[in-house]
Amino acid sequence: MLQTSHNVAINPYPGKGELVVLFGGHGQTEPNHRVGPQVLDYHLMHYIESGCGTFHSMGREYTLSKGDCFFIFPGELVSYVSDSELPWSYRWIGFRGNKAREMLSEAKVSPETPVITITHKRVPGLFGRIERVLGQAKTNCDLSADGYMRLLIAELAEDHWTRSESSDESLSAIQRQVEQAIRWLTLQYSQQISIEQMAQTLGYHRTHLSKMFKQHTGMSPMSFLLKIRMERSRLLLTENLTIEQIASSVGFPDPLYFSKQFKKWYGSSPTEYRAMLQGKELYDCSQ
């Protein structure tokens, strides 16, 4: 005979902000266990560990089973019912926050797409950890639950992108390599870097990466890096910084060499460019 259960742990110290876990739980439902129709004022997600059932949201019906995860969004009228012969056992988490919907969108979860299938093995364990830290009711449980919740959403997003990449034949391995290199340069331009270092960090041969980079961007990696540095330095010239400080901020330890590169790129020195921005004559002693 099926033994039903219902276990829930409440957050005793819920905070405010981007993401707040309110409670977590798990249970084995009875046959034809029905919830709703109802409207909630927080987010609620369920992960099905076994059994099956149906979920109704925005006029659609979803048939769900082991490995499926369904989401309820605030203000949406929903209902769900477990199967009469194989009622589901599931885990759930209630949460809120001004960034909750935005974070879920990274996993392509929305009121229009409230169901996903989980393949990542860490997901069930994260549900359990959230419930466990809330159940311990320590003063830091809110922060711990928040951290686990962010990891959980990250795993859902990774699941989505892994499936997308495997099914998207138009995004070649070479394109991904180039995009990865662009992100690396965009984030590391202020450091003393070389293309050899970038290629080694990303795990590619320097010659191969340089060739693919130029084919897809029309520029060599070093030219692309210089472009990023020059564009950033032009913005910094509007700030109350010295030329030496700006040079260092964009990866040039030698301010004189930076000034020469800036003049080659824009046709005027950093000092002349700043004066032009300020509407001043370079040698106007009245200013």
Domains and CATH numbers, the chain: 5-167 (2.60.120.280), 173-277 (1.10.10.60)
- Cα 109-122-149 angle, rounded to 5 deg: 55
Please give the pLDDT value at position 169. Answer: 47
Helix, strand, coil % over all residues of the chain, rounded to 5: 45, 20, 35
Q: Please report, rounded to a whole number, the percentage of residues in the chain having pLDDT higher than 70.
A: 91
pLDDT digits (tens, 9 = 90+) for 202-251: 888 888 888 888 888 888 889 999 999 999 999 999 989 999 999 999 99
Please give the pLDDT value at position 286. Answer: 41
Task: State how far the Cα of 233 lies from the Cα of 262, in Å rounded to an integer.
Answer: 8
10 Å CB burial of residue 108 (0-12, 13-18, 19+) is middle
Please give the pLDDT value at position 159. Answer: 61
pLDDT digits (tens, 9 = 90+) for 120-143: 678 888 899 999 999 998 888 889
Please give the pLDDT value at position 172. Answer: 65
Placement of tokens 């662009």 in the chain: 182
Continuous segment of H or E residues that includes residue 127 = helix 122-136
pLDDT digits (tens, 9 = 90+) for 143-195: 999 999 888 888 887 765 555 444 444 456 677 778 888 888 888 888 888 88
CB contact set of 100 (below 8 Å; sequence gap of 6+): 18, 19, 43
CB contact set of 95 (below 8 Å; sequence gap of 6+): 19, 20, 21, 22, 42, 43, 44, 45, 149
Q: Specify which of 7-21, 197-211, 273-287 reaches the highest per-range mean pLDDT.
A: 7-21
- The confidence band for 71, taking pLDDT boundaries of 50, 70 and 90, is very high
30 DSSP assignment: P
Tokens of 205: 């041969």
Does 12 sit behind a cis peptide bond, omega within 30 degrees of 0 on the bond before it?
no
Report the interhelical angle of 255-266 vs 221-236 (nearest 10°): 100
